[in-house]
Structure 1
Amino acid sequence: MRLDRFLWWSRISASRNFARALAESGHFRIDGRRVERAHLPVRPGNVLAFVTHGGKVRVVRIETLPHRRGPPAEARDCYTELTPGAAPAQD
């Protein structure tokens, strides 16, 4: 699955255009490697690290690939938050 589509379908990004801009900004890493293209493939087990709009670093591990852009609770099941100090998601 494409990186920008994963970010949008898993609700990490509000829109696919923002997901593409985030991936192409150069502030994104997949398994420690710098990413500058939104079309790179991602798969379960990949660790994504990126700078959020607020300037904070966020780290997530992909658990499963989403089959659609579903509700937020379903989207949160697709990844595990690894960001130090981040509170676990509440349902």
Structure 2
Amino acid sequence: MMEKRDSLRLDKWLWYARFFKTRSLAAKIVTGGHVRVNSNKVSKAATTVGAGDVLTFAQGNHIRVVKLVACGTRRGPAPEAQALYEDLSPPVAHVPGDKDYVPPAPKFEGKGRPTKKDRRTGLLSRPDWLE
């Protein structure tokens, strides 16, 4: 005889694993056809998933590929949610030129906002203030 594996609705699992903030947002992504389960496109939020399934979906500007490890019983804290899946996504390299690249904050090397002392010396060195 075959044992029945634990399974859970896809939208509920995405919400449990904290990929989406609300269950209705997870359901909207699934019904929009933006999620693949084992490389098959699904469009029903009630699709059942279980341990061993591989999900592919967009989250923000990144494509996520995750393998389900467990179904879970609740939407718990982040460490509990991270134990529900194994991330198979390639690491995101932030290089200049990418649309989601955020440069580091500038250090003061003549750039950025001047200090009060810099403003005073700059104002006093202007010729119109010396007259």
TM-score by length of 1: 0.89
Give the letter for the 1:78 counterpart. L
Partner residue of 1:68?
74
1:39 to 23, 46, 55: 46
In structure 2, what is the equivalent of residue 18 of structure 1? 25
Runs of 4+ in 1 over 3 A off after TM superposition: none
C-alpha distance after superposition, 1:20-73 (max 9, x if no partner): 01111112100000011100000000000011232x211000001111111011
- Structure 1 or 2, whichever has the larger Rg, is 2
Q: Which amino acid aligns with 1:27?
A: H
Q: Output the CA distance in 2 between the equivalents of 1:42 and 1:8.
A: 13
Q: Percent identity?
A: 36
Query: In structure 2, how many angstroms separate the alpha carbons of the residues matched to 1:17 and 1:79?
Result: 21
Q: TM-score, normalised by structure 2?
A: 0.63
Instruction: Name the count of aligned residue pairs.
Output: 86
SS of structure 1 residue aligned to 2:48: coil
Unmatched 5+ stretches in structure 1: none
Q: Does 1:28 align with 2:35?
A: yes
